[in-house]
Amino acid sequence: MNDTSVAKIGELIKSAETIVIVQADNPDGDSIGSALALELILDSLGKNPHLYCAVDIPSYLRYMSGWDRIEAELPNQFDLSIIVDTSTPTLLEKVKEKGDLQKLTKKPNIVLDHHASVEQEIEFATVTINDTSVSSTGELIFNLSRQLDWPLSPDAGENLMTSILGDTQGLSNDLASAQTYRVMAELVELGVHRPKLEEKRRLYNKMPENIFRFKGQLIDRTSFELEGRLAIVRITQQEINNYSPLYNPAPLIQADMLQVEGVAVTVVLKTYDDGRITGSIRSNNGYPVASKLAASLGGGGHPYAAGFKTTDNRTFDTIRAKILEISQELLSSLQSERVD
């Protein structure tokens, strides 16, 4: 994080009153935790924060208090916007469709992110911090709050902890650095109670019986390719309609796919009637190929967690074949690196 950008962020916020906090089209634990923490911080700085997300907040994230303050409309007037957890315009398509992106470009804008592979930057941003050394946007905001002397209440701390735990899968993946643990320790000192947070999340993540049975169907349909190194499953529009409002289908199955012996990479594909296909990619430790695989389909992300979306009407079979081909290449080049 360079000092000039940090100072600039401090100034932009100081001179603004109404500030819109924008989540991209793929709200996850980090995105919502960062947004809610920023809202509390800005509020205590005497600002008038406004939470915005163009898509519905998935139900599995609704255990977070404050989620219901997130609106799909921009306020009539605002002075500044802050985009959290994305630095690519491809994840702001819904914002654009609603005509809101145009409005954002007319005012100063701050982008706070931590994603390594970005194929295209948000051009209208006044300041961008894309810090790949932190686990999550939540950790980035914690660092900013220390540097800029922002007040951090236990509630804001709880949101930041949710961000960190979300992106590090409970401090279990490579994104959790020594520094991340230090930040976690400081959050605990601030008064955040992790067991309570965990309990809240678990309670909310309980599934209805039909979701449990749907999980069985997905397990049944998962196919194992490339000698068992790639696990892939498809979710149809009908299933998205039936089950997505109740439970996010990819997290329902993907962790279990990764637990199958021999599996290196997993892909959960959602196919929509309008031709769109989205893919959630997760890979096991030692196989940092997720972002590269996503990039080959126009997406991006982290080495172990990435995603993509196609809108050019390529068929499911075409996308599937491409995934097999690229995964094969990426995995065999990993193997040859090791031999060398």
Residue 54's alpha-carbon distances to 26, 101, 304, 326, in angstroms, are: 10, 10, 27, 32
Pseudo-torsion of CA 116, 117, 119, 122, nearest 10°?
A: -20
For Mn ion, the closer of residues 147 and 169 by Cβ is 169
State the Cα–Cα distance between residues 61 and 104, nearest whole angstrom: 26
If the CB atoms of residues 136 and 162 are measured against Mn ion, the closer one turns out to be 136
As a whole number of angstroms, the distance between CA 21 and CA 18 comes to 10
Nearest residue (CB) to Mn ion, 109 versus 130: 130
**Cβ–Cβ < 8 Å for 265, 289:** yes
Query: How many helical (H) and strand (E) elements, i.e. helices and strands, does the chain have?
Result: 13, 11
CB 135 within 8 A of CB 114: yes
- Between CA 176 and CA 10 the distance in angstroms is 27
Show the 3-state SS of 50-113. Answer: EEEECCCCCHHHCCCCCHHHCECCCCCCCCEEEEECCCCHHHHHHHHHCCHHHHHHCCCEEEEE
Cβ-based burial of 61 (10 A; exposed 0-12, middle 13-18, buried ≥19): buried
Q: How far is the CB of 325 from Mn ion (least distance, A)?
A: 29
- With contacts defined by CB under 5 A, name the span among 28-36, 66-74, 182-190, 231-239 that binds Mn ion: 28-36
**Among 25, 39, 85, 131, which residue interacts with Mn ion (rule: CB under 5 A)?**
85
Least distance to Mn ion, CB of residue 30, Å: 3
For residue 194, give every residue at least 6 positions away whose Cβ sits within 8 Å of its Cβ, in sequence order, or none.
161, 188
| Shortest distance in whole angstroms from residue 332 CB to Mn ion | 30
Site mask for Mn ion (CB under 5 A), range 164-183, x = bound: ---x----------------
88 or 327: whose CB is closer to Mn ion? 88
Site stretch for Mn ion (CB under 5 A), options 94-102, 131-139, 225-233, 292-300: 131-139
Q: Using alpha carbons, select from 148, 117, 170 the residue that is nearest to residue 11.
A: 148
Q: Minimum distance from CB of 70 to Mn ion (Å)?
A: 17
Report the residue number, 134 or 226, with the smaller CB distance to Mn ion: 134
Spatial separation of the C-alpha atoms in residues 339 and 278, rounded to whole Å = 34
Q: Which of 205, 179, 191, 108 is nearest to 155 (CA)?
A: 191
The nearest distance, CB 31 to Mn ion, in angstroms, is 6
| Nearest distance in Å: CB 48, Mn ion | 26
Query: Which of 20, 27, 30, 293 is the binder for Mn ion (CB under 5 A)?
Result: 30
Question: Residue 131 interacts with Mn ion (CB under 5 A)?
Answer: no
Size of the site for Mn ion (CB under 5 A): 4
Structure tokens at 230: 């790639």
Residue 30 vs 100, nearer CB to Mn ion: 30
Q: Among residues 33 and 157, whose Cβ is nearest to Mn ion?
A: 33
Window contacting Mn ion (CB under 5 A); options: 79-87, 101-109, 120-128, 268-276: 79-87
Q: State which residue, 145 or 271, has the beta carbon closest to Mn ion.
A: 145
Residue number with the smallest Cβ distance to Mn ion: 30
> Least distance (Å) from Mn ion to the CB of residue 64?
15
Least CB distance to Mn ion at residue 67 (A): 17
Q: Which residues in this chain contact Mn ion in the complex, by CB under 5 A?
A: 30, 85, 136, 167
